Structure 1
Amino acid sequence: MTPLNLDDVARYVELNIGAFHEKRIASLGRLKLKDVLKRKNPYMYRAKHVLTAEQIIRGIVDAHISSNEETLFGDWLEGLAIFINGQVYGGWKSGITGVDLEFDRDGRRYIVAIKSGPNWGNSSQIGQMKTNFLTAQRTLRTGNSGLQVVAVNGCCYGRDNNPDKGSYYKYCGQRFWSFISGDDQLYVELIEPLGFKARERNDEFAESYGQMINKFTREFTLEFCDEQGAIDWTRLLRFNSEA
């Protein structure tokens, strides 16, 4: 074990956090209004007494951003976790399906599936993770029958006060970051470097966001509003649901 150098973590963040922000902006650029409208429920907008195109557009774009950013930042944190573990325990990104990180400690091989938060999946998804763990354990033991393989679901934030799940462990928040780094306070220490140039990056994103709202509002008004500017619900429903 090599003690974690927080300066190395800060440098990693500074060099790589830009990729997250760039993907946020790129994701907005790929968004197509009509594709999203086909997946939305126009009855709900009508029931909520939505009156303007911009209300619908902001709802669509904001929902996309919220869902997409959680995924993008979860992927970015996965990379950070693998980097940190590599510095401390020599861990590596796994090539096994459903496993993100592998490392050896105290004579055991740890296989880790990294998720953003504790409530990441339904029963079917959790069942698939368990299957992936069992397959990975069998694969790793093929060449070394005596290898002790420990499966872990690591969650970057949140809590789970019952980490022993029987066939695997679930470490969340402080427990997870401590598990991969040996530093009980890392979960707090990460906050400062993650703010690197956050304001400048968010200003860039806000400009792209504003342009997208204006573009989609204009497109929606031309396609789904009448000459008086009112939303033509029949036209919208036919586009969304007509056979």
Structure 2
Amino acid sequence: MINDQKLKTRVGELLDVLYQKRFANLQKLTLTTLINKNPYLYRAIGVDDPAEFIDQLLAARVSSSDETIFGNDFLEPLVIWSARESDQHGDTGRLVSVGAGAGQDVAIETATAYLAISVKSGKNIFNSQSTKGQSTEFDALQARLKKLNKQFRPIIGYGYGRKRPNLESPVEKLAGQAFWQLLTGEPDYYLRIARTIGVFAISHGEAYKNAFSLKKSQLLREFMLNFVSESGEVMWDAVVTFNSSENRPRALKKK
């Protein structure tokens, strides 16, 4: 079993990195970047209040950014650390390394097998075309590793959720509890991760909420200057023109 204090320390370090990048991305966000989102969608669903429009644009942008940061700067490092740390608790003869091949994030090599693992933050990352591309990358990696004379196990690991086994596919797909147990041998490790994150959630979360609120107020004021009429209505022609006209419009007015 991985030591509780070690897990807490590592999760804390990774969350510090995650929030540093969240704050940095929030600070550099501009109205010009925000208006690049699909204006027709928000027009179609009836978003006419300026504050609601900015709120939805900002939430969508931050959510997309958060998924990327979480996968790259929290999940993948935690996967590698967890697999390595478990070696110190009874898993002898295992070598854990950062994946060397395309489409491979982690490699776990034992005396008889080679596990090539591609890490995904969520189970809905792939469409059918990207799944085919992942399988091709695994095939190329297997061909290079034939000389090892070991069982080759291509695995797509999802940080949460669940996946049903597909006996027709050579690629294993493991999600949530099953994936974390493969890495550590602990059936409740996926719960320990959530509990440990909770230790830091309040302190990090409150500071970010305050920064988010200030950024939203700044962007709303700038939006009012450029895209809202004196009667308080969103000027959709101006929004769509700024987003999609062949000739780029003038620079936005600043407060």
Q: TM-score, length-normalised on structure 1?
A: 0.90
Please list the CA deviations of residues 156-186 of structure 1 after superposition, one character each: whole Å capped at 9, or x if unmatched: 1101122545221011111101101111111
Residue in 2 that maps onto 1:46? 43
Shift of 1:149: 1.7
Residue in 2 that maps onto 1:65? 62
Residue in 2 that maps onto 1:174? 177
Deviating above 4 A after TM superposition, structure 1's stretches of 4 or more consecutive aligned residues are none
| 2:5 is the counterpart of 1:7 | yes
Is the contact made by 1:163 and 1:171 (CA closer than 8 Å) also made in structure 2?
Answer: no
| 2:185 is the counterpart of 1:188 | no
Residue in 1 that maps onto 2:85? 87
Q: 2:118 aligns with which of 113, 125, 133?
A: 113
| Structure 2 Cα separation of the partners of residues 222 and 231 of structure 1 | 11
Residue in 2 that maps onto 1:125? 130
Cα pair distance change 1:219/1:185, threshold 3 Å: same
Which consecutive residues of structure 1, in runs of 5 or more, have no partner in the other structure? Answer: none
SS of 1:197's partner is helix
Shift of 1:38: 2.5
Cα pair distance change 1:167/1:188, threshold 3 Å: same
Is the contact made by 2:121 and 2:160 (CA closer than 8 Å) also made in structure 1?
Answer: yes
Shift of 1:96: 1.6
Is the contact made by 1:28 and 1:212 (CA closer than 8 Å) also made in structure 2?
Answer: yes
Is the contact made by 2:22 and 2:66 (CA closer than 8 Å) also made in structure 1?
Answer: yes
Residue in 2 that maps onto 1:216? 219
Please list the CA deviations of residues 203-235 of structure 1 after superposition, one character each: whole Å capped at 9, or x if unmatched: 111111011111111111111112333222222
Q: TM-score, length-normalised on structure 2?
A: 0.86
Residue in 2 that maps onto 1:101? 106
Q: Which amino acid aligns with 2:125?
A: W
| Structure 1 Cα separation of the partners of residues 140 and 21 of structure 2 | 33
Q: 1:238 aligns with which of 217, 236, 241?
A: 241
| Structure 2 Cα separation of the partners of residues 94 and 165 of structure 1 | 25
Report how many aligned residue pairs link the two structures.
238
Please list the CA deviations of residues 76-120 of structure 1 after superposition, one character each: whole Å capped at 9, or x if unmatched: 111101101012244111122210000123510100001112211
SS of 2:145's partner is helix
| Structure 2 Cα separation of the partners of residues 45 and 88 of structure 1 | 48
Is the contact made by 2:37 and 2:57 (CA closer than 8 Å) also made in structure 1?
Answer: no
| Structure 1 Cα separation of the partners of residues 47 and 149 of structure 2 | 63
Is the contact made by 2:229 and 2:235 (CA closer than 8 Å) also made in structure 1?
Answer: yes
| 2:19 is the counterpart of 1:21 | yes
Cα pair distance change 1:164/1:154, threshold 3 Å: farther
SS of 2:199's partner is coil
CA RMSD of aligned residues (A): 1.8
| Structure 2 Cα separation of the partners of residues 140 and 111 of structure 1 | 11
Shift of 1:14: 2.1
